Amino acid sequence: MPTINLPNGSRVEPFATSPARDFAKATPPFPRVALAAAHVVADPLAEQDPWLDVKIDWDRTIAFRKHLWSLGLGVAEAMDTAQRGMGLDWVGAQELIRRSLDAMKDHPGAVMASGAGTDHLAPGPDVTVDDVIRAYEEQCEAVEAMGGRIILMASRALAKAATSPADYERVYARILSQVKQPVIIHWLGEMFDPALEGYWGNHDHMAAMDTALAVIHAHADKVDGVKVSLLDDKKEISMRRRLPRGVRMYTGDDFNYAELIAGDAQGYSDALLGIFDPIAPAVGGALAALSKNDLSTFHEILAPTVPLSRHIFKAPTRFYKTGVVFMAWLNGHQDHFVMVGGQQSTRSIQHFSELFRLADKAGLLRDPEMAVARMKSLLALHGVA
């Protein structure tokens, strides 16, 4: 197996790669719903100002969704992993959703849900709660007109405009009363997006949870589930146990997903995760084991992916997309390490080196020779021979 010299603190040390792991494959349905929030592939050759323009390589972007479907995973489209509101605007998101829905027609049984939010409405002192409602209505109507299912994303504009929990209740009641199919509500924590601090009208997560649950209970027939991204397993479990019957908890906890998906005597979480993008083969293998009630193999497969995920999602957590795309590049899903908005610059060479080691340990470098060659090119750019 190939060896590479990787930075480790102030030293550069040789690292011997391991063979890629051959994960078992199975056909859905699985005992858990598993949606991978998928990234977009930038077009590195487009004439553009990378910090200002959004140029997407649509062929590679859609090919990656087909890769996820081939492993039995569903796709959560146009979410924050796709740099939604962090490079990818609403116009680009609509095209992404449309293209993905078209591609899904060639994959019988494939599952997809798409983000609808208010990111075309810039938060500001003159933005009202009614403006937020109209913005949500516009995006929800657009997604449904394309034949898509809705993931109701958290709103920066609402976080700015709301003055009390009652404002959140009014907005969500209005939108949920209008949607055609049950939606997935996404509660994205401030560690992922600082502009969402105090969502649901309270800076205390447990108090905010009371408001979110009141909304869900009042409109349970319009809620398929709730995705909670607070990186706190105890808070997720607490909320999971208080959900109405039939409403799913979709874990958004990229630190503790294995235990949350496995569940306990009182229930379990389904999953809608950004980390499922880079670790998709392992997820497919773990779900195949879970289908056979083989919890030992389920945990054996996912256990080494957890340190990798914790590293990718380390603070500042909002930069996790860089690690996701880095993994896609190492594994040949794209020919370059360029991101929308120039986000490839948000992590250090030390971070990428440790990510490489952890990915290898998890058996997720599908072609170690290619991964080493690509990592060497990145190291050379950083002056590491």
Closest by alpha carbon to 247, among 209, 218, 273, 281?
A: 218
Provide the pLDDT for residue 53.
85
How far is the C-alpha of 296 from the C-alpha of 285, rounded, in Å? 12
Can you give the C-alpha Rg of the chain in angstroms? 20
CATH class of 23-314: alpha beta
User: Would you call 152 helix, strand, or coil by DSSP?
Assistant: strand
If you average pLDDT over every residue of the chain, what do you get? 97
DSSP letter at 345 equals G
**pLDDT band per the 50, 70, 90 thresholds, residue 142:** very high
**pLDDT band per the 50, 70, 90 thresholds, residue 385:** confident
What is the DSSP secondary-structure string of 3-71? EEEEEETTEEEEEE--PPP-----PSPPSS-EEEE----B-TTS-S-TTT---B-HHHHHHHHHHHHHT
What is the DSSP secondary-structure string of 303-336? TTHHHHHHHHTPSSGGGHHHHHHHHHHHTTSSS-
Closest by alpha carbon to 365, among 20, 1, 8?
A: 20
**pLDDT band per the 50, 70, 90 thresholds, residue 48:** confident
- Report the run of H or E that residue 84 belongs to, with start and end: none
Q: Region 37-58: what's the mean pLDDT?
A: 93
The residue extents of the domains of the chain are: 23-314
pLDDT tens column, 202-251:
999 999 999 999 999 999 999 999 999 999 999 999 999 999 999 999 99
Amino acid at 218: A
- Residue 279 CB-density burial (10 A; 0-12 exposed, 13-18 middle, 19+ buried): buried
What is the DSSP secondary-structure string of 272-296? EESTTTTTHHHHHHHHHHHHTT-HH
Give me the sign of the Cα torsion angle 27, 325, 377, 4. Answer: negative
Q: How far apart are the first and last CA of the chain?
A: 19
